[in-house]
Amino acid sequence: MTLVHSKALDETVKVDRIIDHIQGKKGGPTVVFFGGVHGNETAGVFALNDVFKEIRSKKIPVNGEVYAIAGNLGALERKQRFQDEDLNRIWFQDRIERILNAQEIKHREEGELAQLFRLLHSILDTGTPPFYFMDLHTTSSDTSPFMVLNDSLLNRKFASNYPLPIILGIEEYLKGALLSYINELGYVSLGFESGQHDDDRAVMNCIEFIRYSLTLTQSVNVSEEKRQRLKDALSRSSTAPHRFYEIYHQHDIAPQSSFKMSPGFINFQVVPKGRTLALVDGVQLKTTKKRQIFMPLYQEQGNEGFYFIRPIPEVWLWLSKKLRRFRVDHILVKLPGVEWGDDGENTLVVDQRVARFFAKSFLHLLGYRARRFDKSHLIAKNRESASKSKEYENTVWFKK
């Protein structure tokens, strides 16, 4: 058992890797919640503990299976983001294979990953589709609750049912995340950021998110009136507009570099030109134009100082859906400077010396996430090819 303390609630609970697991009626979905993947983010652990106790004490009928899983047990007990390395930055296929096959654990987070990996695949082997995976987090700055997800049409369609801001594109900057690994397996997966680490409202926001998610996935049957009340409660927790945003810039903190965020910034804040964002190695880092800031870093551990985001126009979302469904990427590979990558029709290699029009934003439209391979080439990975959309076709939210 691991002792987890909440500074916000001034409470301590004992948890195992599986905080709780409720096996309900057959025929329902398999829903998995993660809490505490970062050890200083305890709101999800306490919220899951609360909701699962409520389900059991009130004997609320459950369809399918629902799991509450603790992420980084060692870091949770030590009240820190991670012990040796960020557990939410190491979910790479080659690294996973090395950890599992070589039977060599180089540090404590690799041991945590090995246990989570085996549990995750045990759930996939024994559970009944459709599968849903939701990762509960908090931020170091004050924030209105929001959701983050890899931009597949499946994820986007499911997330659209939440009355919250939705951030797309983080997987292009934040490498090796647990949810990115799960999304590449083809399942619905999303992250929920409920508030500031030590704010008791973050726990309540998590509770409301879990309750509403259980009704949306049809794990718990409620009247339409109650579902709407749960949705309204979640909506009231957020002060930011309920729309889609995309990340277009990340400030990386270089190794051995000193970084100190200027005080007072909050998520979704519009920052005017010329404002000092942070001190980097003692030098003021200022905005060169008006920006909208996202996830400013106010903790010692972490390699991402902040992001810039912008709203996505509705027409852009509509166009991207049409282009992906018509598989326009299969036409583009006939153009000079564009070819398939080594893994077949899942990766595009773009020579920007020839195909100058291929900016990252255009590749996003087609459902690809891109990274620069060298000065002139982009490597773009298809977000859509793995999606197991057929497993979700009979759900109420998918048919809308």
Work out the burial of residue 152: count CB atoms within 10 Å of its CB; fewer than 13 is exposed, 13-18 middle, 19 or more buried: buried
pLDDT level of residue 120 (50, 70, 90 thresholds): very high
Q: Determine the pLDDT at residue 357.
A: 64
pLDDT at 370: 78
pLDDT at residue 314, as a whole number:
94
Vertex 304: Cα angle to 282 and 84 (nearest 5): 100
Distance between CA atoms of residues 156 and 321, nearest Å: 10
* Distance, CA of 289 to CA of 388 (rounded, Å): 41
- Find where tokens 């996003």 sit: 364
| Per-residue pLDDT band at 365 (split at 50, 70, 90) | confident
Tens of pLDDT along 19-33?
A: 999 999 999 999 999
pTM of the model: 0.93
Residue 399: other Cβ atoms inside 10 A: 8
3-class secondary structure, 327:
coil
Tell me what the mean pLDDT of segment 188-204 comes to.
96
Beta bridge partners of 371: 379
Share of the chain above pLDDT 90, in %: 73
Q: How many CB atoms lie within 10 A of CB 345?
A: 13
pLDDT band at 114 (very low <50, low <70, confident <90, very high): very high
Taking only the tens place, the pLDDT of each residue in 43-85 is 999 999 999 999 999 999 999 999 999 999 999 999 999 999 9
pLDDT tens figures, 295-341: 999 988 888 999 999 999 999 999 999 999 888 888 888 888 888 98
* End-to-end Cα, the chain, rounded Å: 43
pLDDT digits (tens, 9 = 90+) for 246-289: 998 999 998 889 999 999 999 999 999 999 999 999 999 999 99
DSSP 46-83: HHHHHHHHHHHHTT---EEEEEEEES-HHHHHHTSS-S
CB atoms within 10 A of CB 267: 26
pLDDT digits (tens, 9 = 90+) for 386-398: 899 999 999 999 9
Q: What is the pLDDT of residue 103?
A: 66
